[in-house]
Chain A
Amino acid sequence: MTANGDVVVRLTGITKSFLGVPVLRGVDLELRAGEVHALMGENGAGKSTLLKVLAGVHRPDSGQVEVNGEPVVFATPRDAQQAGIAIIHQEFNLLEHRTVAENVYLGREPVRRGQVDRRKMEADTKGLLDWLGEDGVDPAETVNRLSVAQKQVVEIVKALSTDAKVLAMDEPTAALADHEVELLYDLVDRLRTRGIAILYVSHRMREVFDLGKRITVLKDGAFVTCALTTELSSDQLVRHMVGRSLDALYPDRAAPEDLGEVRLALRGAGNDRVRGVTFELRAGEIVGVAGLQGSGRSAIARAIWGVEPFTTGTLEVDGVVRRITDPRTAVRLGIGYVTEDRKGEGLALRQSIRDNALLVRRAALTGGPGRRKSDLGELLRSVAVVGRGEHQEVRYLSGGNQQKVVLAKWLAVGPRVLVVDEPTRGIDVGAKQAVHRLLRDLARNGVAILMVSSELPELIGMSDRILVVHEGAIAGELPAGAGEEAVMGLATGHGRGEVA
């Protein structure tokens, strides 16, 4: 039996190359029972490869994996599972149409007299759920009826059912609604006190500092440092990851003389999710939209783009009243929309970078001359997509590069209004900065940008002014550089007095 604080897993000098390209170059990692260990690094730093080595998906070229002090070799994911290591992936590995218990015991169903012992399966699942203090999940419920947070609980229970002592969580909050993040904090804490070693991979600085006891930083596949969170500031951490500090993170805002004419104007616009939405968006500015999850901040974006159109009020594009009832109309009016659901709505994952970048152009703009090959290359260079050429399928790209392809898709048609929803969700610090710079450059070139984001620092750092949405209506507008409290006050409905 391991006591809290004992090293459960030790990786030393792990190296791994793909097709001659080194992805990991001598990485060390120690995971201790009852401790949360954060793993940070930019996209391409090697985090996911390291996770896959830990999970037995990839075999390292050299280096050693030890479990409880014994050297081990994982030939298959099953070996890692049997050694007590489980990975909670960013995208859940659950069967939507099967029950919780069926998912938890998938591949290991208990059998009694030649039949699957359903009762035992459900009772054992219940036992694990209770042990975790998650009695809100019914083992007999079909997974597609659960919330995202509950699905995550099921994933964790599935891991625990294999008697996992080590849980590696890859961006566990990326898919969660804001209020569910706290529930996850709680859950991680309970897992920790029950002696589970947790490897926590995240891009979100606050989570890493709130939850982690130690932080390991990777950069370009190499081990940079491992430190106690108490001995590290967020500035130092960012420097370790990217070699620059937080101050440089956001580009300069627009000056008053940069603002052009009104591109988009809403007057009293509403539908069944939002009402009385009134604001103007000018060429050259970035207007942030803040609000709690479910407040209607994304609904405004989707309504402008015609997915769930406004049913009341008016919408003007370049001074002309328009009715946008579907995305095609929006595109032809020069409005682009970067969705928050990159993989589901933003990209055709099995198509090439090229096909994705030209998707909107081919679909919506008829009659004009096709973009020449060299133009496409220029476009992709301008967003700095790093990939193996324009014919690579986008599903093989990192999140940051995928997002750049989404942006390229819109740049290809030269939109005059760009609505972006969570532009940097789930992408690393470096790519985040690139996206921020790109958005600001677009604004400087006269694009009017409406940016919805749940990340306050990003919203405040990027926006020339901020609209705060509360319960389906705009609760107020704040100037550039407003404080987090002011935004939160309006977003939670307490700060009406501060309306600027």
Chain B
Amino acid sequence: MSVAQGKTESAGGVARRGRVRKFSLTPTVTVYLALVALLVVGSVLVGLNGGVLLDQGGILNILTRSTVLGLVAVGQTIVIITGSLDLSVAYLVGLCSLVAAETMAGSDGMMVPGVLLALGVAAVVGLVNGLVVTVLKVNAFIATLGVALILRGYLEDNYTGPAGSVPRAFQHLGFDRIGPVPIGVLLMLLVAAAAWWYLRRTRSGYHTYAVGGDIDVARLSGVRTGRTIVIAHVLCAVAAGLAGVFLASRLGSGAPYVGTDAGYDLESIAAVVLGGAALAGGRGGVVGTIGGVLILATLDTVFDDLAVDPFFKDVVRGIVLIVAVALYARRKLPRRSA
């Protein structure tokens, strides 16, 4: 009944695509290209100022700055891929640093229980986030904001400043190096690698992408969507917990606002988005996120070397973020046929 039973038409895409994969400018590639460009520009600027950006100290500086944000952002990547997000991570980082430091209370024997308890608390907070999102069906923004406020209330009520103390032995985590590389950086990369493996190699990881891509499709295909979202939230919270533990090791004690002072909630989301993930879910990855974290850390390092006004710093970070997302959006402009 339709007009084109005519076979003359050849337009349209039934034609076979070549097997050859062309090098394509995916967000992940873009973010690393941007990183390289930034390093070059930064080196020149710092060089003109009479300093050196990329000597060993400089590189270490960038990597060290990336450690805590990297941990948090890797976790954030997983929740964002499911189409959720977590605004409670900043307070959670503080809370976990306190739990770890207070449990250890300077005693060597309590190091393992301290770490486990901190991660356990994180997991419970993540579980609550996940359940509020899936069972109570509260929008993730509101759900995790609510949990963040609860955590803040608890912290403000019970702490006025640093508390607890970690034993000297535990501070090795924060300050030692293996060869030239700080243990913290290795820890962060290890967590990133584990998250990459989880997302790219396990069924649960596949389902994470599926749920974020289209939750109805995932459900109709037999994916347990609720469970997938809850797992994502737990993993994200545990990553934030690790960040808290690491900070306790560096600071020597727990600090209630160490996470919020650094703005790890929004900063981690910024890094994930900078790394090419779609805030709506279904797309993104750990590799891109680490790129995003490195860009933010490099910016900070360059600005510090140049002794730039901190307010101007934020302006530039904001511009970088918006430009990056605008560039990704451009590439996705709908192409119409017919």
Q: Residues on A close to B: CB < 8 A?
A: 77-78, 81, 93-98, 102, 106-109, 111, 114-116, 136, 138, 141, 145-147, 149-150, 158, 177-183, 204-207, 290-294, 298-299, 308, 340, 454-457, 459, 487-488, 491-493
Contact B14 A180 (CB under 8 A): yes
Per-residue interface assignment for chain B, residues 234 to 261, with 1 indicating a CB less than 8 Å from any chain A CB and 0 otherwise: 0000000000000000000000000000
Residue of chain B at shortest CB distance from A457: B1
Contact B13 A178 (CB under 8 A): no
Contact B14 A183 (CB under 8 A): yes
Q: With A107-B221, A115-B201, A138-B17 in contact, is A294–B11 under 8 Å at CB?
A: yes
Known: A77-B222, A182-B7. 5 other contacts (CB 8 A): A77-B220, A106-B206, A178-B2, A206-B1, A290-B3
Residue of chain A at shortest CB distance from B219: A77
CA distance A37 to B57 in the complex (A): 74
Complex contacts, B13 vs chain A, CB 8 Å: 146-147, 149-150
Contact A455 B218 (CB under 8 A): no
Looking at the complex, which one of B2, B7, B16, B336 makes contact with A454 (CB distance below 8 Å)? B2
Contact B2 A93 (CB under 8 A): no
CA distance A158 to B6 in the complex (A): 30
Contact B213 A97 (CB under 8 A): yes
| A193 CB → nearest B CB, Å | 21
Looking at the complex, which one of B4, B201, B221 makes contact with A106 (CB distance below 8 Å)? B221
CA distance A340 to B337 in the complex (A): 12
Looking at the complex, which one of A95, A149, A293, A487 makes contact with B209 (CB distance below 8 Å)? A95
CA distance A181 to B4 in the complex (A): 9
Complex contacts, A102 vs chain B, CB 8 Å: 206
Judge whether B152 is part of the interface by a CB distance below 8 angstroms.
no
Q: With A93-B220, A107-B221 in contact, is A178–B17 under 8 Å at CB?
A: no
Contact B222 A109 (CB under 8 A): no
Contact A94 B217 (CB under 8 A): yes
Judge whether B109 is part of the interface by a CB distance below 8 angstroms.
no
CA distance A294 to B3 in the complex (A): 11
Complex contacts, A459 vs chain B, CB 8 Å: 3
Contact A109 B206 (CB under 8 A): yes
| A309 CB → nearest B CB, Å | 14
Complex contacts, A97 vs chain B, CB 8 Å: 209, 213, 282-283
Contact B222 A108 (CB under 8 A): yes
| B328 CB → nearest A CB, Å | 13
Q: With A96-B213, A116-B206, A179-B12 in contact, is A145–B17 under 8 Å at CB?
A: yes
CA distance A181 to B9 in the complex (A): 12
CA distance A456 to B1 in the complex (A): 6
Determine the interface band of chain B, counting residues with CB < 8 A from chain A.
35 or more
Complex contacts, A487 vs chain B, CB 8 Å: 3
Q: With A77-B222, A293-B338 in contact, is A116–B203 under 8 Å at CB?
A: yes
**A–B pairs, 25, beta carbons within 8 Å:** A93-B214, A93-B216, A93-B221, A94-B217, A95-B213, A97-B283, A114-B202, A136-B16, A145-B17, A178-B9, A179-B14, A181-B2, A181-B5, A182-B7, A290-B3, A292-B8, A293-B4, A293-B11, A294-B9, A294-B337, A340-B338, A454-B3, A456-B2, A459-B3, A491-B3
Judge whether B148 is part of the interface by a CB distance below 8 angstroms.
no
Chain A's interface: helix, strand, loop or mixed, by majority? Answer: mixed
Judge whether B330 is part of the interface by a CB distance below 8 angstroms.
no
Q: Residues on B close to A: CB < 8 A?
A: 1-17, 19, 201-203, 205-207, 209-210, 213-214, 216-218, 220-223, 282-283, 336-338
Q: With A116-B201, A149-B14 in contact, is A138–B4 under 8 Å at CB?
A: no
Complex contacts, B9 vs chain A, CB 8 Å: 178-179, 292-294
CA distance A457 to B223 in the complex (A): 44
Complex contacts, B201 vs chain A, CB 8 Å: 115-116
| B222 CB → nearest A CB, Å | 4
Contact B213 A98 (CB under 8 A): yes
Contact A138 B12 (CB under 8 A): no
Complex contacts, A298 vs chain B, CB 8 Å: 338
Residue of chain B at shortest CB distance from A118: B201
Residue of chain B at shortest CB distance from A96: B213
Complex contacts, B1 vs chain A, CB 8 Å: 204-207, 455-457
| A344 CB → nearest B CB, Å | 9
Residue of chain B at shortest CB distance from A421: B338
Contact B6 A492 (CB under 8 A): yes
| B1 CB → nearest A CB, Å | 4
Q: With A116-B202, A141-B17 in contact, is A81–B6 under 8 Å at CB?
A: no
Leading 8 A-B pairs by shortest Cβ distance: A178-B4, A147-B13, A107-B222, A95-B213, A294-B11, A107-B221, A292-B4, A106-B221
Contact A95 B3 (CB under 8 A): no
CA distance A102 to B221 in the complex (A): 11
| A455 CB → nearest B CB, Å | 6
Q: With A178-B9, A179-B9 in contact, is A98–B210 under 8 Å at CB?
A: yes
| A236 CB → nearest B CB, Å | 18
Complex contacts, A206 vs chain B, CB 8 Å: 1
Contact A294 B283 (CB under 8 A): no
CA distance A30 to B30 in the complex (A): 55
Complex contacts, A93 vs chain B, CB 8 Å: 214, 216-217, 220-221
Complex contacts, A111 vs chain B, CB 8 Å: 203
Most buried by B among A111, A177, A182, A207: A177
| A241 CB → nearest B CB, Å | 16
Most buried by A among B6, B214, B282: B6
Complex contacts, A149 vs chain B, CB 8 Å: 12-14
Contact A294 B338 (CB under 8 A): yes
Q: With A77-B222, A95-B210, A298-B338 in contact, is A492–B12 under 8 Å at CB?
A: no
Contact A293 B223 (CB under 8 A): no
CA distance A178 to B10 in the complex (A): 11
CA distance A145 to B21 in the complex (A): 12
Contact A454 B223 (CB under 8 A): no
Residue of chain A at shortest CB distance from B222: A107
Complex contacts, B222 vs chain A, CB 8 Å: 77-78, 81, 106-108
Complex contacts, A492 vs chain B, CB 8 Å: 6, 8
CA distance A191 to B207 in the complex (A): 29
CA distance A158 to B216 in the complex (A): 16
Looking at the complex, which one of A107, A138, A178, A294 makes contact with B223 (CB distance below 8 Å)? A107
Residue of chain A at shortest CB distance from B209: A98
Contact B202 A115 (CB under 8 A): yes
Complex contacts, B11 vs chain A, CB 8 Å: 293-294
Complex contacts, B209 vs chain A, CB 8 Å: 95, 97-98
Complex contacts, B202 vs chain A, CB 8 Å: 114-116
Complex contacts, A292 vs chain B, CB 8 Å: 3-4, 6, 8-9
Contact B5 A178 (CB under 8 A): yes
